[in-house]
Amino acid sequence: MASLELSRSPLRSRREPEVCSAGQDKYSVLLPTYNERENLPLIVWLLVKSFSESGINYEIVIIDDGSPDGTRDVAEQLEKIYGSDKILLRPREKKLGLGTAYIHGMQHATGNYIIIMDADLSHHPKFIPEFIRKQKEGNFDIVSGTRYKGNGGVYGWDLKRKIIRLYRKEVLQKLIEKCVSKGYVFQMEMIVRARQLNYTIGEVPISFVDRVYGESKLGGNEIVSFLKGLLTLFATT
Amino acid sequence: MTKLVQWLWGLAILGSTWAALTMGALGLELPSPYREVLWPLPAYLLVSAGCYALGTVGYRVATFHDCEDAARELQDQIQEARADLARRGLRF
């Protein structure tokens, strides 16, 4: 029988995708929470719905930082409802910051891809299958959601930097090692470092919905801290 | 080298080139029409850059998509989620 020669398509990145032990892709969603008692059940329900409808292998890692409003209690109920193989509770005693929450979450994640998003319904999980499709399409190391391209957009004017991204697990681990900033600047820094390390980044248009639109959040504060963060990155990377 | 340092280098090189040419240093005497254009060039470029930045921001803000459908859909799904979760035993 003649042997087939498979030529590498020029779009493929030089990295071969790692698969988890079952030989199949698994997607771990990291949800750091602080006082999200109201939103957590809703975001988990939407995540389960999106993943189940698309037949995607997933798990949700909830990293609660000792929320005083009973978020952990709600998380435990969700674990009972959906199973501890799908809902992983990995809480911490007190508020320890976003970067360490991701590190902590990743140590317990069994997927080979990590999805980072906010637990407050600002991004709808319905976009996640599109992220996954996009990642496979371009063999990207990172896929980020954008409100500015395609049919992306917003409802409500919350200027806070909300990020939803899909990473290969080893890429996220490497980036977290390299990043030094705190808070939302850290999310921006990850993209800067990713470009420096020549990781490939894809984008998917998403809509951002401010659920409690009506309360004025258009504060000059956010603009100032964004600019400060930008200038810090400019001077340090 | 950080981005800041790169930019400072770039500005230093362009700035000293401009200064040398406009002051006639190094014995270089550019013809008058060239010097008349070169002299205000930095100010002109700065103002143009400012206008471009403002224009781009204004345009993007004006054409930013407003996602009313997404907001409606989310509200509907929140109702659905609460009902389904209550059925499965979640105490809110």
- Write the ipTM: 0.78
- B92 and chain A: CB distance < 8 Å anywhere? yes
Which pLDDT belongs to residue B61? 85
Residue B66's pLDDT is 84
Residue A153: partners with Cβ closer than 8 Å, 6 or more residues away? A147, A207, A208, B64, B65, B66, B67, B70
For position A158, what pLDDT does the model report? 67
Cβ distance of A124 and B74 shorter than 8 Å: yes
Nearest residue on chain B to A213, alpha-carbon basis: B71
User: How many A×B Cβ pairs under 8 Å?
Assistant: 71
Contact A237 B2 (CB under 8 A): yes
- How far is it, in rounded angstroms, from Cα A40 to Cα A23? 31
Q: Which residues contact A161 (CB under 8 A, 6 or more apart)?
A: A184, A187, A188, A226
Window B:65-84, CB contacts with A under 8 Å: 65-68, 70-71, 73-74, 77-78, 81-82, 84
**More confident position, B83 or A150:** B83
Tell me the shortest Cα–Cα distance from A206 to chain B, in angstroms: 10
pTM reported for the whole predicted model? 0.83
Query: C-alpha dihedral over A117, A120, A123, A125, to 10 degrees?
Result: 70
The domain that contains A94 carries what CATH number?
3.90.550.10
The answer to the question of residue A43 being in a domain is yes
Q: Which residue has the higher pLDDT, A21 or B9?
A: B9
Is there a contact between A234 and B3 if contact means CB atoms under 8 Å apart?
yes
Question: In which band, very low, low, confident or very high, does the pLDDT at B36 lie, cut at 50, 70 and 90?
Answer: confident
pLDDT for residue A10: 45
State the Cα–Cα distance between residues A198 and A147, nearest whole angstrom: 24
Q: Is some CB atom of chain B closer than 8 A to the CB atom of A19?
A: no
Residue A65 DSSP SS3: strand
Q: Does B41 touch chain A (CB under 8 A)?
A: no
Predicted confidence (pLDDT) at residue B59 exceeds the cutoff of 50: yes
A91 in a structural domain: yes
Asked if A114 is an interface residue toward chain B (Cβ–Cβ < 8 A), one would say no
Strands, DSSP E only, in chain A? 27-33, 58-64, 87-89, 113-116, 142-146, 153-155, 165-168, 201-205, 207-209
d(CA A171, CA A143) in angstroms, rounded, equals 12
Question: Would A4 be classed as within a structural domain?
Answer: no
Residues A127/A164, Cβ–Cβ less than 8 Å: yes
For position B88, what pLDDT does the model report?
Answer: 94
Task: Say what the pLDDT of residue A22 is.
Answer: 56
Q: Identify all chain A residues contacting B3, using CB atoms and an 8 Å cutoff.
A: 234-235, 237
Name which of A139, A157, A138 is nearest A147 in CA terms. Answer: A157
Chain B residue at shortest CA distance from A79? B90
pLDDT at A11 (0 to 100) = 47
| Per-residue pLDDT, A216 | 54
Tens-digit pLDDT profile for chain A (237 aa)?
Answer: 544 544 444 444 455 556 655 569 999 999 999 999 999 999 999 999 999 999 999 999 999 999 999 999 999 999 999 999 999 999 999 888 888 899 999 999 999 999 999 888 888 999 999 999 999 999 999 999 988 888 888 887 666 668 899 999 999 999 988 888 877 788 889 999 999 999 999 999 998 888 765 555 556 777 788 888 889 899 988
| Domain membership of residue A130 as a residue range | 27-236
Closest-CA distance, B64 to chain A, in angstroms, reads 6
Q: Does any CB of chain A come closer than 8 Å to the CB of residue B2?
A: yes
- What pLDDT, on the 0 to 100 scale, is given for residue A90? 95
Say how many domains are in chain A: 1
Specify the pLDDT at position A163. 87
Q: Which residues pair with A29 in a beta bridge?
A: A60, A115
Cβ neighbourhood burial of A46 (10 Å; 0-12, 13-18, 19+): buried
